[in-house]
Amino acid sequence: MKRVQLDFFNSTQLTDNRPTFISPATVAFILPSTSTPKAPDDDGSTTSPPDTMSPMKSNEMDTFDDILWKEMLGNPRLSAKLGDDQLDSNEPSASLNFDFESTSGEEKDQKPPSLSNFIKFLKRLLNLPDVTEDEAKNGLKIVTPIPANFSVFYYEQKVDHFSYTNNDTFDQRVIISADHWCKNGCPIFFFTGGASDIFTYANNSGLLWENAARFRAMVIFAEHRYFGHSLPYGKRAFKNLKTLGYLNVEQSLADFAEIIQDIKQSYPAASRSPVIAFGGSYGANLAAWLRIKYPHLVEGALASSAMFVTDNYDCGEYYRIVTKNFERYSTKCSESIRKSWTAIRNLWKVEEGRNWLSDTFRLCRQLKEADISDFMNWLTTTFTYLAMVDYPNAANLFSPLPANPINETCQHLDNPNHTDKTLLRRVFKAISIFHNYTKERRCIEIKKSVEVFESDPWSFMSCTEIIIPKCSDGINDMFFEKTWNLTKIKTDCMNRWKIIPRAQKIQLLFGGRNLSAASNIVFSVGERDPMAAYGLLNSISLSLVVIKIPNAYHIEDLRPSDPHDSLSLLDARRTEVQIIKYWINTFYSRIGFYPRHWLEFSNLI
């Protein structure tokens, strides 16, 4: 690995200078360094693999705020230490005190970074809210749901893998945990990041973390180019097609392949490690395509909530599934939403009505007459996201939500016959479950409040390769009439990005649903997930298996286990684990090698 490493030891107890594993806890130690993470030897000691990292140069700072990187570079040893009274604490969330130290005589006279700026850097790194006044004064408390020690790397990645004319590189963010890896050919779990910050996936993928100990596996989460902090050309990434044109599926898969290959070369013991790919939603497609494109690097793939669009699509099924999820709680709820669109149009006719909507929905800026599509699409997206994550337990995938969030939402939508303004006041209270459940937002910016699949990079990909047809009629669903018009889509894409969609490209590259030549892929589908409208519903062969999960939602099988998980979800996870175990055993049998730890522990899986 190359570039900068930050180590996050997830524990409030330190033993012999090594972290002791404790279930989800506060980050207790943070140390930028210039070496790859230490992996446990068979005797419990640690040895460092060969150093393959190099410090960042001052002209390579496009991704982060220059001032923060300069302070980091000027002070290469920045450690967060617990006080003596905290070392014996069993509390899973202790505040951290930062000591800023220099490691050479040349650096002793340099000014250490301000506590506020360093905290700002760390919070941005971990995709957390901006530093508060209290944190700037008293120190930082970082709580992560990742139940393991992990390191964050910035891998020097090629911008263009397929030509010899562009030698530019960018820093791709990678999360690595070797907590449970046996360091002797044991498996590697590799998560293919999708259309979001990589910590969104790492924080919500309990299936990998919980099974890492059982499989003695290394866990890797690789961020997708142009998302999160992995920005080719930094702040200029979205300037024009010259810098953005490298955002496509083929380049992204090559990024992942490069990282896997580098891991196998950097860690000699990993050369005989089988790699299992995991992914959710668009990332599920990437996991499957990674297995198809690079079978010599990836032994198998678990693709949760993957999307496969063909010419024989039904553009209305997506919104019908959303509607059914609301109707399960109350038909009055879905009918209230259906009638709200007319109420919005009635008020939109005059400026006074638009101002009333702006104030009632506590928007950050006043609505203009031309904003009606943005406003209605924003509400539509809110309801569809709720339908995707109506988990029986509290979650924080798209936003912090309670258990069964649709139930909470529908509590406010119990009478579709209210007057227009009364109905829309109720709608605001309903959508606040999604947008402001924690009561922390003072106002809502409709173009930024559902960023996961509304961001610039996703908008670009929706205009190039990932074409997802959606339509509604307001009769068989609870939305307004919205047709699917590829001609209009092409016009909109040309206006915004100066490109024309290549709707058939993915099918040409990977076969669409015609995957009979592939092998070792599990496709899991939650039957209540709106994305099931585009999913595979039947197994193709003994090694291309579809697991349909009744009453399950979007990527629910990847989520951390919970006492409220359904029996069907538990059964699906058990099946997935046994299939993965079979792939790994087959790999070891093929190469004629079994790690000693695998032989000892695999019978317990």
Look up the CATH number of the domain holding residue 351. 1.20.120.980
| CA–CA separation, 166 and 146 (whole Å) | 37
Domain boundary among 112, 144, 176: 144
**In the chain, what is the straight-line distance between the N-terminal and C-terminal CA atoms, in Å?**
31
- Where is average pLDDT lowest: 5-14, 309-318, 334-343? 5-14
- Name the catalytic one among 179, 529, 557, 565: 529
- Residue 448 is predicted with a pLDDT of 66
**Contact status, residue 257 vs residue 282, Cβ threshold 8 Å:** no
> What is the spatial distance between Cα 122 and Cα 30, in angstroms, rounded to a whole number?
9
- Tokens representing 155 are 């891998």
Q: Residue 316 half-sphere exposure, CB side, CA atoms within 13 Å?
A: 12
Prediction pTM value: 0.82
In a domain, 160, yes or no: no
362: pLDDT strictly greater than 60: yes
Residue 7 in any domain: the answer is: yes
Q: Say yes or no: 564 and 442 in one domain.
A: no
Q: What is the CATH number of the domain that holds 292?
A: 3.40.50.1820
Residue 513: per-residue pLDDT? 87
144-169 average pLDDT score: 90
Confidence of residue 129 (pLDDT cuts 50, 70, 90): low
* 179: in domain: yes
CA distances from 420 to 193, 406, 501 (A): 42, 22, 39
User: What's the confidence (pLDDT) of residue 562?
Assistant: 94
Amino acid at 204: N
How far is the C-alpha of 96 from the C-alpha of 117, rounded, in Å? Answer: 15
The conformational region for residue 571 under phi > 0 = left, psi -120 to 50 = alpha, else beta, is alpha
Name the pLDDT band for 258 (thresholds 50, 70, 90): very high
Q: Are residues 387 and 530 in the same domain?
A: no
- Which residue in the block uniquely carries the two structure tokens 């002793």? 108
524 & 489 share domain? no
Which one has a higher pLDDT value, 254 or 148?
254
Q: Within a 10 A sphere around the Cβ of 205, how many other Cβ atoms? A: 25
Q: Could you tell me the CA-to-CA distances from 296 to 261, 290, 300, 590 in Å, in that order? A: 10, 10, 10, 13
Same domain assignment for residues 517 and 406:
no
Catalytic choice (196, 230, 273, 281):
281
47 and 126 in a single domain? The answer is: yes
Is 554 an active-site residue?
yes
CA dist 102 and 74 (Å) reads 9
Domain presence at residue 502: no
pLDDT confidence bin for 95, thresholds 50/70/90: very low
The answer to whether position 553 is within a domain reads no
pLDDT exceeds cutoff 70 at 1: no
Instruction: Give the span between the Cα atoms of 286 and 227, in whole angstroms.
Output: 15
pLDDT at 136: 52
DSSP code per residue over 473-487: -SSSSSS--B---HH
* 100-118 per-position pLDDT tens digit: 333 334 444 444 445 566 5
Report the alpha-carbon distance of residue 605 to residue 602 in Å, rounded: 5
CA separation for the pair 190, 272 (Å, rounded)? 15
What's the CA gap between 257 and 245, in Å, rounded? 20
| Residue 151 maps to a domain | no
Mean pLDDT calculated for residue range 29-42: 35
Q: What is the pLDDT of residues 50-63, one digit of tens each?
A: 232 232 232 333 33
492 and 389 in one domain? Answer: yes
DSSP 432-467: HHHH-TTS--SSB-TTTTT-TTTSHHHHHHHTTT--
3-class state of residue 170 by DSSP: strand
For 57-71, 166-180, 280-294, 499-513, which range has the lowest pLDDT when averaged over its residues? 57-71
508 phi/psi in degrees, rounded to 5:
-70, -40
Distance CA 404, CA 78 (A): 42
40 exposure class (CB count in 10 Å sphere: 0-12, 13-18, 19+): middle
**Does residue 28 lie in a domain region?**
yes
Residue among 371, 554, 557, 597 flagged as catalytic: 554
Cα–Cα separations (whole angstroms), residue 139 to 27, 94, 97, 324:
13, 11, 6, 47
Q: Are 399 and 534 members of one domain?
A: no
Same domain, 361 and 476: yes
For residue 395, list its beta bridge partners.
401
List the domain range (segments joined by +) for residue 580: 168-308+513-548+558-605
Last residue of a domain, one of 88, 111, 144: 144
Q: What is d(CA 570, CA 557) in angstroms, rounded to the nearest whole number?
A: 8
Close Cβ partners of 175 (under 8 Å, ≥ 6 residues apart): 150, 151, 152, 153, 198, 199, 202, 219, 220, 221, 222
- Quickly state the pLDDT bin for 570 (edges 50, 70, 90): very high
Q: How far apart are CA 297 and CA 316, in angstroms?
A: 38
CA count, 13 A, side-chain hemisphere, 170: 32
Please state the rounded mean pLDDT for residues 194-213.
94
409-456 confidence digits (pLDDT tens):
999 999 999 999 999 999 999 999 999 999 988 999 887 655 544 578
Mean pLDDT of 194-220: 94
Q: Identify whether 468 is part of a domain.
A: yes
| Residue 179 DSSP label | S
Q: Which of 78, 111, 144 is at the close of a domain?
A: 144
Task: State the Cα–Cα distance between residues 600 and 120, nearest whole angstrom.
Answer: 45
**Res 603: pLDDT:** 75
Q: What is the pLDDT of residue 75?
A: 36
Instruction: Answer yes or no: is pLDDT of 68 > 80.
Output: no
pLDDT of 118 reads 58
Listed range (131-140, 323-332, 374-383) with the worst mean pLDDT: 131-140
Residues 187, 303: one domain?
Answer: yes
Residue 602: band (very low, low, confident or very high) from pLDDT cuts 50, 70, 90 = confident
**In terms of domains, do 180 and 272 share one?**
yes
Whether 189 and 67 map to the same domain: the answer is: no
Number of structural domains the chain divides into = 3
**Model confidence at 465, in pLDDT bands (50, 70, 90)?**
very high
Give residue 309's pLDDT band: very low, low, confident or very high (50, 70, 90).
confident
Confidence of residue 46 (pLDDT cuts 50, 70, 90): very low
Which string of b and e fits 334-354 if b means at least 16 CB within 10 Å? bbbbbbbbebbeebbeeeebb
Q: What is the mean pLDDT of residues 80-106?
A: 33
Report in angstroms the alpha-carbon separations of 167 from 158, 164, 173, 351, 531: 7, 7, 19, 53, 38
Alpha-carbon 469 to chain mean position:
23
Q: Please compute the mean of the pLDDT values over residues 281-295 and round it to a whole number.
A: 97
323 with 304, same domain: the answer is no
Residue 429 contacts by C-beta under 8 Å, 6 or more apart in sequence?
412
